[in-house]
Chain A
Amino acid sequence: MVSYKKPDLDSFQERIHIATLFVTFCFLLLITRLVWLQLVSHGKYALLAESNRIALVPAPANRGLLIDRNGIVIGRNYSALTLDVNAEEVKGNVDQLINELSEIIDISPRDRRNFKRSLEDSRNMGTFPLRSMLNEAETARFMANRYRFPGVEVRARSFREYPYNELASHLIGYIGRVSQKDKEKMQAEIEGAKADDPDALQASFLPGIQYVGKIGLEQSYETVLRGVPGYDQVEITAGGKPVRTLSSSPSIPGKNVVLSVDIKLQYLVEQLYGNFRGAFVAIEPETGDVLAFVSKPNFNPNDFVEGIDAVTWKELNDSPQKPLYNRPLKGIYPPGSTYKPFMALAALENKKRTPSQTISDPGYFDFGNHTFRDDKKGGHGIVDMQKSIVESCDTYYYTLARDMGVNMMHDFMKPLGFGQITGIDLQGESRGVLPSTEWKKNTFKKPEQQKWYEGETISLGIGQGYNAFTILQLAHAMANVANNGIVMKPHLVKAVEDPFTRNRVLTTPKESYRIDLSQENIEVIKKAMVEVNVSGTSATAFKGTGYQVGGKTGTAQVFSLNSKDYKHGSTAEFLRDHALYIAFAPADKPTIVIAMVVENAGFGAQYAAPIARKALDFYIEGKWPKEVPEWKRAP
């Protein structure tokens, strides 16, 4: 046999020892690593494991209702069945799944696109609706085939609905899916809120906010309507599948918003406008409550809630009628002759005229080398202040404007609200233009444009020239005069209502300020305006009212026609004059003022005043015109 060699064994033993040392070293390395992970960094990893394990599943809050001043709900929520798909489970074969599902349930290409976009945004984690508003037959068909679609389920979700569709669309606005921009904005708001109230942490749970008001009251009262979303703390698998609920924090529903708007009045006016474009604002002068806020044409806000489809969007956006444009809020118009009562009041207050002081009107007014024409050929003859308003004499105001100058007019009109932000509770209000020498200096760039020319002053007197105001401003100014100089901020919302207790908290602002006006002077103007509807330009429209109405017609030129004769009907529709009208009633103690424009309609007396008459008949006497379909409460 092989001899047993001692040196060999020694060398082997030696190497076994070294191997043992090596093994010991390696094991110490492992132990060090494990001590590092499990003792030193334990806190960090325990936290990571917790955040791995727990997901916050949002429980959206019920959005507050929108209620008109008489309790009619114009913005509400309803629950509907949706087809929800768990992204994790369908990863990889989305198209195949949708194809198979569309055999039993109608799935439009738009649904498909939206769903896929949600998947991409979420990196395939979470549950997303593929189809909304399943009907009973579809639900039944899906339930029968449910076994074929793991990860797909039918679930009830809450949706926003505007039951009267187009009605009051511009003031209601609409909500839509939260965009990245909305999120950043909300984040900033929350950061701000946290600084004030560290307990506001719960509100920072942004994933629970899936919809946000985009325009209108839905936008401006977003924080009131939204409520506070709740969440469930849910244990989830790596794939995002919920295992069990650990705790839940219920959502706090949003508050209801009570509008100052009388939705029936709003409906009536919208119907009366028919196919005309325009804006109509009615205000309760004593409070500043906006009673109607019409912008025609309008749109259906329901189209926007789940994301508007491209065809409808293009149609709305490209329409020359501009249905998405909030006319009373943003549209600026020359006030035309509706400006005259304010001018007359300015003259009295600044002692530039007395009520009985007269001028002789030859039918034109020469200033420099320019002739300013009166509407009436041959002129109005001898004209005092009342006659100037009743007959709407231009020459009277040409001379008045010359005598006052642009800055005096500006200084008087400014506190009435012309060319100023009214502060109404909607976003995006236009300021308009109340000209002054300073305004011109600041607005134009070239020095020769910055200079004010006296000739430019003249047409300001009849509400033309640089004058450009919103219908809201015109109504606001009318309300301020009707309210004898006490300025109330106009508002569309008068109270916020608790959804459970129905307790209302008034949000109506107190008086903003008082304009120091002589009551005597105000009465002169009011009396003249009443006379307008008795023997003046809009007498026909107001024949036989059971109450006294003060009013003033206006016709604003869309562009300068120079001296060419203007014939209604022969001018292209979009170049026709705007018909304007302002009114207050009842004259002795006004409860409603109106300012309105009917775009490209022609004379104010003929097109605007009759609408105002019917609106006032309804609001003051409850009379409903025969030609307008009855108001029906939405089911």
Chain B
Amino acid sequence: MEKSPLIKIKGFFFAIFSGLDRQLGLILLGLAAIGFFTFLSSSQNTPVQIVDELRNLALSFVVMWIVSRIPPKWLEMGAIWIYGLGVALLIAVAVFGLIKKGARRWLNIGFVIQPSELMKIAMPLMLAWYFQKREGIQKTWDYAVAAIILVIPVFLIARQPDLGTALLVFAAGLYVIILAGLPWKWILPFVGIGVIGILLIIIFGSTICAHDVAWPFVHNYQKHRICTLLDPSSDPLGKGFHTIQSMIAIGSGGFFGKGWFQGTQAHLEFIPEKHTDFVFAVFSEEFGLLGNLVLLALFFALIKRGLAISASAPNLFTRLLGASVTLIFFTYAFVNIGMVSGLLPVVGVPLPFISYGGTALVTLGFGAGILMSIHRHRRLVQS
């Protein structure tokens, strides 16, 4: 019997969405919807068109869909090659990369790519593969090997310089290493040093931010970012301008926000990078604390679901990979919102699924695809 067209379409969609985790899918759909509507407002007076955003969202979905069909086993086998390619490309960047805005981050291979972006996925893949390989026979020095795998690309990215991406790649790898069982006695001292360091910076901010004090290991502009975070009003029209203006945008939004398209800070061009890195300021101004709580709830749900999928994953590789990817989502969101609201220094980290930008959406789609794949293939690999 001939099937009706309706059933045909239904069947087609079923084929497409089958195997995608429904909870994760709905959360992502919610985030993408918020991203799209915020984009409509934030892209005013920018050269960016709606079709660009739609294309990016579609591309992200396609990447996610494809990756979700790839069995984790394949990723496991390809891990070392993807990582190797990533490191090779980073070296290529260091040798003959393109320089834009004073940083050497891009590579022209017919079209321009940013290899550090690939590393955000390649790093957890590689480390998860390594720990999977050493499962059961794991020795202490395995952490040393893992550290080397981690440090090489992070170093290459940091010297481009691209501190934001380097931190994200480092975080991605670190999550794998910690989740793989790095002993607490090694973790806690670092946590302690970190906490003390931050406290020291806050307390002695005015002294170390004096004009002629040079900081070891960091560029001058990076020092400025941290210093303006501590006291944005020290340079209200210069370095502190971004932070001050985005804080004004968020604060003036109040509880209910000024309404969609009604943000004065955004529409009168007071917010820098308003449709990309600082899109959260636009969203906050127009949708207020209420909108922010919804957005944070969605992110929290995304992370909970990602961690749940990882927890029920069949083997160490998928568990480590899934959890690490999930925590990368968290890191993106936390660092971005922290930066825009003046809690963290300004680093170039987009807000997942909300900020405009093709590369980031593809990477995020890839990450979401990995989680989908792990969920889809959870039983297939179980022995």
Contact = CB atoms under 8 A, between A and B. Distances in A.
A41 B264 contact: no
Interface stretch (B47-55, B88-96, B115-123, B246-254): B246-254
A137 interface: no
B264 A53 contact: yes
26 contacts: A4-B383, A12-B311, A12-B319, A19-B175, A26-B330, A27-B300, A30-B337, A31-B293, A33-B338, A34-B289, A34-B341, A37-B247, A37-B342, A44-B251, A45-B247, A45-B251, A48-B251, A49-B252, A52-B245, A52-B264, A52-B268, A52-B270, A53-B268, A235-B264, A237-B269, A238-B269
B135 A38 contact: no
A30 B293 CA distance: 10
Contact of B307 (A20, A42, A237): A20
A46 B251 contact: yes
A237 B268 CA distance: 4
Nearest to B247: A37
B341 A3 contact: no
Most buried by A among B179, B252, B255, B265: B252
Contacts of A34: 250, 284, 289, 292, 341
Interface string A198-225: 0000000000000000000000000000
A interface majority secondary structure: helix
Contacts of B250: 34, 37-38, 45
Interface in B268-304: 268-270, 284, 288-289, 292-293, 296, 299-300, 303-304
Of the four ranges (under 10, 10 to 19, 20 to 34, 35 or more), the interface on chain A belongs to: 35 or more
Contacts of A49: 248-249, 251-252, 264-265
Nearest to A1: B383
Interface of A: 1-5, 8, 11-13, 15-16, 19-20, 23-24, 26-27, 29-31, 33-35, 37-39, 41-42, 44-46, 48-50, 52-53, 123, 235-239, 243
A8 B314 CA distance: 12
B373 interface: no
A50 to B, nearest CB: 8
Given A30-B296, A30-B338, A45 B248 contact: yes
Given A15-B181, A20-B303, A30-B337, 4 more contacts: A30-B296, A33-B338, A37-B250, A49-B252
B113 interface: no
B254 A46 contact: yes
B296 A31 contact: yes
B304 A2 contact: no
A29 B251 CA distance: 16
B343 A236 contact: no
Contacts of B303: 20, 23
B316 interface: yes
B364 interface: no
B260 interface: no
A129 to B, nearest CB: 25
Contact of B136 (A5, A29, A236, A243): A5
B252 A42 contact: yes
B321 interface: no
A303 to B, nearest CB: 38
A210 to B, nearest CB: 24
Interface residues on B, range: 35 or more
Most B Cβ at <10 Å: residue of A3, A26, A49: A49
B349 interface: no
A42 B323 CA distance: 37
B310 interface: yes
A13 B319 CA distance: 10
B168 interface: no
Interface string B318-339: 0100010001001000100110
B359 interface: no
Interface in B121-165: 135-136
B315 interface: yes
A238 B268 contact: yes
B249 to A, nearest CB: 7
B11 to A, nearest CB: 36
A35 B251 CA distance: 9
B323 A19 contact: yes
A243 B268 contact: yes
B178 interface: yes
Given A48-B248, A238-B268, A33 B300 contact: no
A325 to B, nearest CB: 46
Given A12-B319, A45-B250, A46-B251, A38 B289 contact: yes
Interface in B29-79: none
Interface in B329-383: 330, 334, 337-338, 341-343, 383
Given A16-B323, A37-B247, A46 B269 contact: no
A33 B255 contact: no
Contacts of A239: 269
Nearest to B323: A16
A237 B263 CA distance: 12
B154 to A, nearest CB: 21
Contacts of A1: 383
A45 B343 contact: no
A20 B248 contact: no
Given A23-B330, A239-B269, A16 B310 contact: yes
Contact of B135 (A2, A37, A243): A2
Contacts of A41: 251
B304 A33 contact: no
Nearest to B292: A34
B254 A42 contact: yes
A29 to B, nearest CB: 7
Contact of B316 (A8, A45, A123): A8
A236 B292 CA distance: 27
Contacts of A52: 245, 248, 264-265, 268, 270
Contacts of B251: 37-38, 41-42, 44-46, 48-49
Nearest to B175: A19
Contacts of B304: 20
B334 A38 contact: no
Nearest to B382: A4
A29 B330 CA distance: 13
Nearest to A34: B292
B268 A236 contact: yes
A23 B300 contact: yes
Nearest to A123: B237
Contacts of B249: 49
B262 to A, nearest CB: 11
A567 B154 CA distance: 102
A13 B181 CA distance: 11
A4 B316 CA distance: 10
A350 B278 CA distance: 92
Contacts of B343: 29-30, 33
A38 B338 contact: no
Contacts of A26: 330, 334
Nearest to A31: B296
A4 to B, nearest CB: 8
Contacts of B299: 27
A135 to B, nearest CB: 37
A19 B343 CA distance: 21
A274 to B, nearest CB: 59
Contacts of A2: 135-136, 315, 383
B179 to A, nearest CB: 5
Interface in B11-41: none
A46 B265 CA distance: 10
B222 to A, nearest CB: 22
